[in-house]
Structure formats: C-alpha cells, structure tokens
Structure 1
Amino acid sequence: MGYFIYIVAAMLVAPLFSVIFELYYRSSQIRFLDLTWKWFIFWAIGIRLITAGASQIANPAFTASIMQLSDSAHVVIRELGFANLLMGGLAALSLFFPSLRPAATLGGLYLGLAGLLHVIRGIEHVNFKEATALISDLWGFLIVVAYYVDSFLLRK
C-alpha cells in the first residue's frame, strides 16, 4: 500500500499542490499551463524516475517482485535503474532550467512505452503493484502528450 500512496503523491498530489502554491504565493501572471507542465514534469517524471532508479539500483528485488521476475534479472534491473536515474535527473533539472523541459519529456515517453509493455504482458498477469506502475506510466505519458500539444501545436 505504501508504494501506491507514494505513486499517487508523486504523480498527482505533489504536482497539484506545487502548482496551486506557486499560483497563490508567487504570481498569478504566470500562465497556468506553464506552471502545470513545470511541476508535473518535475514531480511525475523527474522525482518519480529518480526514486524508481535509486530503488532499482539499491533494491532490484522490489522491481523483480512487481514484474514477477527471478533473481537473475537483478543485473538488468540495476541497469534500468541507471537509465531511470538519468532521465529523472534531466526532468528534475528542468525545474531550474526551463530550456531543458522538451528534452526532459524523454522520461515521459519512456514511461509510455513501459506502460505499453505492461499492457502487452497481459492484464490477467498484472498484480496490484504492477497495475499501479502501469497507470502511473501511462499518466506520465499523457502529461508529455499534453505538454507537446500545448507547447508545440496550440501556441503557434
């Protein structure tokens, strides 16, 4: 249950709180959607992937249990952890360097592909933790798609 609570906090609660806080306390001059992308990319992609990567490096057994994999997968899970850590780090840096934001969306595209793999594996084999990962992966992808639509299609 702790994993589920963490995912909801990182993917929804913390970004929403950050947007509301910045709108209220900093400036109402900032475009609402710009704040939305700023904070959702930071939390839902950056922090989510940093913590996933750190967990996969330090404790690959957790990810192996979610995916119902054997201990022999631990080396590959650690390698995945390094990739997650780097993509998450880029998204976290985009909070301070907005010009990195388009590149930071790479992590959200990755989450979308990971979510697709969860679906391809077959819903009947998905446990609660994997379903949580699946939903959060697709949510991260939707954030990126919405960011692209707003930033590159609607603002032209």
Structure 2
Amino acid sequence: MGYVIYIVATMFVVPLLSVIGEFYFRSPQARFFDLTWKWFIFWAIGIRLITAALSQIANPAFTASILQLNDSAYVIIRELGFANLLMGGLAGLSLFFPSLRPAATIGGLYLGLAGLLHVVRGIEHVNLKEATALISDLWGLLIVSSYYIDSFVFRNKV
C-alpha cells in the first residue's frame, strides 16, 4: 500500500502543492501552466524515475515482483535502473535549468511507452502494483503531451 501512496503523491499531490505554493508565495506573476510543467516534470517524471532507478539498482526483486518475473531478470532490471536514473536526473535538473525541460520530457515519453507495454501485456495479468505503475506511466505521457501542446502548438515556443 505504501507504493501506491508514494506513486499518488509524486504524480499528483506533491506537484500540485508545489505549483500552488510557488504561484501564491513566490511567483504570482508567473504563468500558471509554466509552473505546472516545471513541477510536474520534476516530481512525476524526475523524482518518480530517480526513485524507481534507485529501487531497481539496489533491490531488483521489487520490480521483478511487480512484473511477476524471476530472479534471472535482475541484471536487466538493474540496467533499466541506470536508464531510469539518467532520464529522471535530466527531469530533476530541469527544475534548476529550464532550458533542459524539452529534453527532460524523454522520461515522460518513456513512461508512456512502458505504460502501453503494460496494457499490451494484458490487463487480466495485472496486479495492484503493476496497475499503479501503468496508471503513473500513462500519467507521465499525459504530462509531456500536454507540455508539448502548450509549448509548441499554443505558444510556438522552441
């Protein structure tokens, strides 16, 4: 249950509190959507991928249990952890270096593809932890898709 609470916190609760906090207490003149992308990319993609990476590297059994894999998959899970650490690190750095934000969205695209893979695997085989991962993965895709639409379609920002 702690995993589900953590995922809900990083994908929605903490980013929303960060947006509201910065908007009201630090930058009331800032564009609300700019703050939204800043904090949701940082938390829902950056922190989510960094913590997943640390878990996959240090404890591949957790990810193996979510995906119902045996211990022969641990090497691949650790390698996945290194990729997650790099993508999450980029999204984390985008908080301090906004020019990295477009590149940081690669983590959200990755999450979306991973979410689609969970769906393709078959919903009937999905346990609670995998369903939670699936939803948060698709949420990451929704965040970056919305960011792209706002930045590149509505504002023609490159």
Do both share a fold (TM > 0.5)?
A: yes
TM superposition shift of 1:100: 0.1
Unaligned stretches of 5+ residues in structure 2 = none
TM alignment of 1:4-153, pairs within 5 A: 4-153=4-153
**Structure 1, unaligned runs of 5 or more:** none
Cα distance in structure 1, aligned partners of 2:18 and 2:36: 9
In structure 2, what is the equivalent of residue 3 of structure 1?
Answer: 3
**Cα offset, 1:17, TM superposition:** 0.3
Distance in 1 (alpha carbons) for counterparts of 2:82 and 2:29? 38
Name the CA distance, whole Å, in 2 between partners of 1:9 and 1:40: 11
**TM-score w.r.t. structure 1 length?**
0.99
Question: What is the Cα-based RMSD across aligned positions, in Å?
Answer: 0.4
Alpha-carbon displacement from aligned partner over 1:54-78 (angstroms, at most 9, x marks no partner): 0000000000000000100000000
Give the SS at the match of 1:96.
coil
Q: Displacement, 1:28?
A: 1.0
Post-superposition shift, 1:27? 1.7
Aligned residues: 156
Letter in 1 for 2:110: Y
CA distance, structure 2, for counterparts of residue 93 and residue 20 of structure 1: 21
Alpha-carbon displacement from aligned partner over 1:6-25 (angstroms, at most 9, x marks no partner)? 00000000000000000111
Cα offsets for 1:72-129 (capped at 9, x unmatched): 0000000000000000000000000000000000000000000000000000000000
- Percent identity (aligned): 82
* TM-score, normalisation: structure 2: 0.98
Q: Which amino acid aligns with 2:31?
A: R
CA distance in 2, matches of 1:79, 1:24: 41
> Which letter maps to 2:71?
D
